[in-house]
Amino acid sequence: MGGLGKTTLAQLVYNDVRIVNHFDLQVWIYVSDDFDVTRVTKKILNSIVPEQDDSNIFSLHFNDLNRLQIKLKRELSGKKFLLVLDDVWTQNYNDWTVLYSPFEAYSPGSKIVVTTRMEGVSSIIKTGAGYSLAKLSDHDCLQVFTQHSLGTKDFSEHDQDLKEIGEKMVKKCDGLPLAAKTLGGLLRGKYDVNDWRDVLNSKIWDISEEEGDIMTSSQSKLLSFPPHLNKCFAYFVIHKGYEFQEQKMVLLWMAEGFLQSENGVNKLENLGCKYFRELKSRSFFEKSDSNALFVMHDLSMILLNGLLEKHT
C-alpha cells in the first residue's frame, strides 16, 4: 500500500552512519512507474560520475545503453556499493535483467535494495529476504498525527476535545503513517476545536467501500487548501516522478506567472520559497536523495487530481 513508510524506512537505513561507513559507494535512485532502462542507468551513472566529469559519455553517447553500461561496470569495479531503487513498478523480467547486467560482477558485500508496492516486482527481482511493512497501531498513528499537528508527543498541553477529535480522525487513517502525517500537516498551527471538527465532519470521509480509504480516493480534494497555492501545487501534474530542486521550481513558478509581487524579482523568489516551504510543511514532497532533490509522493498526486477535478 502507498503511505506505509517504505521509502522512509529505506532512507533511515541508507543514512545510518554504520551503513555509510560500511560501503565504498552509495547511490539512491527514484524510479517511479516510468521504467526506462537507459534513463535509470544514466541516473545511476550520473550519481557516481557527474556529467561535467565525463562529458563524452553523456553528450556523445547519451542514449547508447551499451556504452553507459560498460562505463557503469567500470566505475563499480572493485567497490562495495549500496544501490537503492525507490518506488519500482515494472514487472517486466527482461527490463530487470538488462538493468542488472552491469552489477553481475559486483564486489562481495554489495547490496541492491528495492522499494515497491507490487508483489510481482518483488518476485521477479528478489534474491534475498523481503520485508513487508504492516500498518501502524491506532496508538502509534495518533503519535504521528500529534507530532505533525501539535508538535508534541501527546495532548497533555492541549484541549482534550482535540484529542477526542484527533483519535476519531486517526482511526479513519487506517494505520497509514503518511495519511496521519498529511492530516497533521493540514492542521499544523490550528488549535481551535472548530477547525478540527470541520475536518472530521467534512465530506472527505464520505466514501464507499469500493472507493477505498483516504489514500486511494479523489475526495481528498475537499481538504482545505489555500487558494494562493493552488496553481503552484497543480503545476506538478506534468512533473510526476520528476526530481526537482526548490530553487529551480520557484523559477518555473515565476516564469509561469504564478507569483505576484510588486517589489521585483528578489521579492518574487522569496515569495516562491515561502510557498515551497508551506507545501513542504504539508508533507506533499519527500526527499529523493542526498542532493537536496525532492519528488511528489503518491498521496500528493491523489490530492492534485482532486484539486484539478474541483476546478474543471
pLDDT in tens, 169-181: 898 888 888 888 8
In a domain, 34, yes or no: yes
Q: Which long-range contacts (CB under 8 A, 24 or more apart) does 46-55 make?
A: 47/289, 48/72, 48/75, 48/76, 49/75
Chain segment 249-274, per-residue pLDDT in tens? 888 888 888 887 756 667 888 888 88
Domain with 304 in it: what CATH number? Answer: 1.10.10
pLDDT surpasses 50 at 285: yes
d(CA 146, CA 183): 10
Instruction: Give yes or no: residues 115 and 166 share one domain.
Output: no
Long-range contacts from 207-215, C-beta under 8 angstroms, 24+ separation = 213/172, 213/173, 213/174, 213/176, 213/179, 214/172, 214/173, 214/174, 214/176, 214/179, 215/1, 215/2, 215/3, 215/174, 215/176, 215/178, 215/179, 215/298, 215/299, 215/302
Strand partners, 81: 25
Beta carbons within 8 Å of 221's beta carbon, 6+ residues apart: 303, 305, 306, 307, 309, 310
CB neighbour list of residue 164: distance below 8 Å, 6 or more residues apart: none
CB 188 within 8 A of CB 223: no
Residue range of the domain that includes 185 = 138-216
**What is the distance between the alpha carbons of residues 145 and 151, in angstroms, rounded to a whole number?**
9
DSSP run (H or E) holding 162: helix 160-172
Q: Please tell me the distance from the alpha carbon of residue 141 to that of residue 180, in angstroms, as a whole number.
A: 6
91 within some domain: yes
pLDDT for 225 equals 56
Say whether pLDDT at 296 is over 80.
no
- Residue of higher predicted confidence among 69 and 57: 69
When pLDDT is cut at 50, 70 and 90, the band that residue 29 belongs to is very high
Mark whether 110 and 15 lie in a shared domain: yes
The reply to whether 209 and 271 lie within a common domain is no
- pLDDT of amino acid 99: 92
Output the pTM of the full model. 0.65
Task: Note whether 24 and 120 are same-domain residues.
Answer: yes
Q: Same domain, yes or no, for 152 and 247?
A: no
Contact (CB, 8 A) for 27 and 48: yes
Both 22 and 72 in a single domain?
yes
Query: What pLDDT, on a 0 to 100 scale, did the predictor assign at position 159?
Result: 78
Give first-to-last CA distance, the chain, whole Å. 29
Q: Which residue has the higher pLDDT, 277 or 209?
A: 277
In a domain, 133, yes or no: no
Contact (Cβ atoms closer than 8 angstroms) between residue 151 and residue 20: no
Same domain? 120 vs 15: yes
Q: What is the mean pLDDT of the chain?
A: 78
Q: Is the pLDDT of residue 241 over 70?
A: no
| pLDDT reported for residue 213 | 43
Q: What is the percent of the chain with per-residue pLDDT over 70, rounded to a whole number?
A: 73
Residue type, 216: T
- Position 185 scores a pLDDT of 83
- Are residues 11 and 118 part of one domain? yes
Structural domain count, the chain:
3
What is the per-residue pLDDT for 60?
43
Q: How confident is the model at residue 10 (pLDDT cuts 50, 70, 90)?
A: very high
Question: Where is pLDDT greater, at 188 or 146?
Answer: 146
Confirm whether 131 is domain-assigned. no
pLDDT at 291: 60
Residue 239 reports pLDDT greater than 80:
no
| Nearest in space to 259 (alpha carbons), one of 245, 237, 247, 275 | 275
pLDDT per residue as tens digits for the range 97-112 = 999 989 887 788 899 9
> Same domain for 190 and 232?
no
